[in-house]
Structure 1
Amino acid sequence: MRFPQLALALSLMFPLSLAAADWRQLQLQASQALQDGRLDEALELARQALDEAQHSHGKESAHSASSLNDLALIESERGNHTQALELIGGAVAIATKALGPEHDNTLALLLNQGLLAQAAGNHPQAMDALQRYLDIQRHRKDADAPSRLKALGALGHSYLASGQYPAAERSARQALAILAGQEPPDPLWQAASLDDLAQALLRQDRRQAAIEALQQALALRREALGDDGEVATSLERLARQYEAQGRHEETLSLRRQALAILEKHAPDSLDIAQHLNELAMQHYRREEYAQAAPLFQRSLAIVQRQKGENSIEAAILIASLGRLKQSQGDEKGAWELFERSLAIHRDNPSQPLYRAQALSDRGLLNYRKRRLREAEADFLEAQALLEDLYGHDSPELLPILNNLLVLYQNQRQSAKAAPYARRIRELGKHERSGLPGTVSTAA
């Protein structure tokens, strides 16, 4: 769900003195600088506002709480999430003492605390703040519905990230109940809440119920927006679930509709590249290589124009083309593409999972050509990347460990093979999560 931007400055419920007017002017200037992306200037202005608030009204004043909130939001935009959470925590504590726990300003700060924690990935803190906010709002007759919806959406996302799927489902259903009580209900909020509900249902293996929620979300967006980019995104969400059910023709139809919508508005956009890639992958998985190839190539051409020939996105697509060539029996073409992809990954090591996959693919080619030393080096490098990413005890390591086991067994290197056999037995007791990007075996 997309939430409205956090409010920078809070409206205080008392007349402004001359000193407070100076403070307010600094706040407004900081807000404008933040909106313009001038983060360093925004930070300096917000610090001046905090100094003014503390000097004129005291460190424990509502003015100081508001300025701490401003600083927290700016630090979050700067990527300093730990500092942001410390600042917003101080703001909530001061406002609770100065104004009371149920004052509008205190509640606004508490909501910001939850949203900032959720954005920072601190889900326990997010869930605590958001649940406290919702508990107070639940008993208020004048509760602000958009803010409650925002809180429920963020709370649901934190529940999902924490593996609390039934709780995430409850949050989505509560949001839908609030919307059902509005006259008229906001269709885009409804669609976003239905998307959240679908995610919670999917995590509970209730795919058909999730599909029904996604169908409703798509219908709402179509009626409200017509041929819009959000409709294309909604089509793709539904297409993925149809594909999981083996509904190939319906999946293709949805993806072609999404592509047609995007081509009307931005024919050379990265969104187009993403949808072309999804279509290509669908054909590839069905071994329809002739249909997949031009889609991959067109997607790559757009990415190279928009992001650069040596972008990490280009590296990922080049490796996909390499796997396509490999599946078509063109090992020379596949080798050249894997080499190109890995050269980009070496210069830009920001995607270790995709780099590991390309290494394993090249290692498999080396293995088939009996270049066993080179295959071992590729597999070992992929193993190291995946262990850094997932840890040493993750079932996600099983494919690459099996690659190395087969390699050593076929060379009768039992001393090297034995540790891999033991690890595979231990990890095999756990189910793999099925995350994308796992590498193939050498067998």
Structure 2
Amino acid sequence: MQPDASVPAIVSPLSRTARLRRRLGRGRAALRAGDLAGAQRRAEQVRCALPAPGERSPVAGDVAVSCLQLLGDIRRDRDDLDGAVRLHRQSLRIAPDDDRRARCLAQLRVGDCLRLQAQYADSERELRAAVDLARRCEPPDPMLTAATLNALGILCKDIRRFHDAARHYGEALALLRSALGADHPRLAFVFHNLAGLEHAQGRYAAAEPLARHAIALRERGDGPTSPGAAGDLAVLGAVLLGLGRLSEAEVALNRSRRLWTSLRGVDHYEMAVVLSNLGSVLDARGDHDAARSHWRQARRIKQRVLGDRHPEVVALRHTVRSDRTDGSTSAGAVAVGRAT
């Protein structure tokens, strides 16, 4: 017997919530794969299905929180850091007080964006609050705790508190290994950051195997064309540059550049990092004019994303304006940490 089309189908609140959660899950998977348009489309579909403020709805409240957080993550990946912070703060305002996981994720994202904007004191306050919330989750969530410790480690590395960074990374790695196993692909981002930490201290030989291990894990997880893989190649390129292996560095950096171009276009912050390092390769070879051209492109992108007074922009401006042509003007290799 065929169903009567004149009788409206009954959709239970549970099934509607489940459908929206699945859609958000697909959106987050698209974001991990670098498909920003697909992630945005699914997030907007969920947002359109949510009730207006104050309106009663059978949809579970966590859907609205998760939707805002996904939209915030998309803004961050589109280099709109202010927009990302605004959305994550909005998700924090509507998250229930007893939903420690949702509140932790919001503060983690806010703290990471503030770090990128060089608002280090505010970033540390948010990240430490996120770590505290993660530790108090019931049941315990080792993955979430590891993510917050990893983000705090990146901040400590950026402000040159290297001992603290190593401690936070070490605890994050131990938690992940205990939860997932010693060689799980999701450990890639911690090895990426451990390589960046060694790089920041000039210990390039120690950094290389860590960077290569991150790449190997990433290829088994997110795949060789994911945003994570592009970031891992950039770190490897920076490490090889530090070791003076210029040809190998150039190969890794150009692979990263091609990936970022296909994933984010030519004006993304991560592209500026790669361009800066490629400029340093050219500078080390004595091609100072080409190096300055790369640094100018990197400065233009970073100035748009970070503002005119950000330390990274100031450093590149000084490098580009220098009249010296003996190679000592090099901006130096940069290795960027990854929060997830």
TM exceeding 0.5: yes
* Cα deviations by residue, 1:246-274 (Å, 9 ceiling, x for unpaired): 42453244123213213x6337x323322
Distance 2:85 2:259 in 1: 36
Task: Kindly provide the CA deviation profile for residues 299-333 of structure 1, in whole angstroms up to 9, marking residues without a partner as x.
Answer: 11222333333322222211211111222332232
CA contact 1:235–1:255 (8 Å) conserved in 2 = yes
Q: TM-score, normalised by structure 2?
A: 0.62
Offset, 1:296: 0.8
Name the TM-score, length of structure 1 as normaliser. 0.50
For 2:281 and 2:241, locate their aligned partners in 1 and report how far apart those are by CA, in whole Å: 8
Residue 99 of structure 1 aligns to a residue whose secondary structure is: coil
1:178 counterpart SS class: coil
Equivalent residue, structure 1, for 2:338? none
Match of 1:235 in 2: 104
Contact 1:168/1:200 (<8 A) preserved: no
Secondary structure, aligned partner of 1:381: helix
RMSD in angstroms over aligned alpha carbons?
4.7
Aligned to 1:260: 135
2:144 to 257, 271, 274: 271
Matched, 1:104 2:8: yes
Per the alignment, residue 53 of structure 2 pairs with 176
- Give the deviation of 1:292 after TM superposition: 1.8
Residue identity in the other structure for 2:258: A
Do 2:104 and 2:131's aligned partners in 1 also have CA atoms closer than 8 Å? no
Give yes or no for the alignment of 1:314 onto 2:314: no
Structure with larger Rg: 1
1:400 Cα deviation (Å)? 2.0
- Map of 1:49-64 to 2, 5 A cutoff? 57=1, 61-62=2-3
> Alpha-carbon deviation of 1:276?
2.4
Q: Percent identity between the aligned chains?
A: 17
User: Is 1:193 aligned to residue 64 of structure 2?
Assistant: yes
Q: What is the distance in 2 between the residues matched to 1:427 and 1:343?
A: 31
User: Matched residue pairs, number?
Assistant: 283
Contact 2:192 2:211 in 1 (8 A): yes
Q: Deviations over 1:391-421 (max 9, x none)?
A: 5x45453432343344235424599x59x95
Q: 1:214 to 1:339 in 2, by over 3 A?
A: closer
Deviation string for 1:344-364 (max 9, x for gaps)? Answer: 345556153323323222222
Distance 2:83 2:221 in 1: 39
CA distance in 1, matches of 2:69, 2:216: 39
Structure-2 change in CA distance of 1:408 and 1:192 (3 Å) = same
Larger relative CO (CA 8 A, sep 6+): 1 or 2?
2
CA deviation after TM superposition for structure 1 residue 369, in Å: 2.9
Q: Deviations over 1:26-47 (max 9, x none)?
A: xxxxxxxxxxxxxxxxxxxxxx
Distance 1:431 1:312, change over 3 A: farther
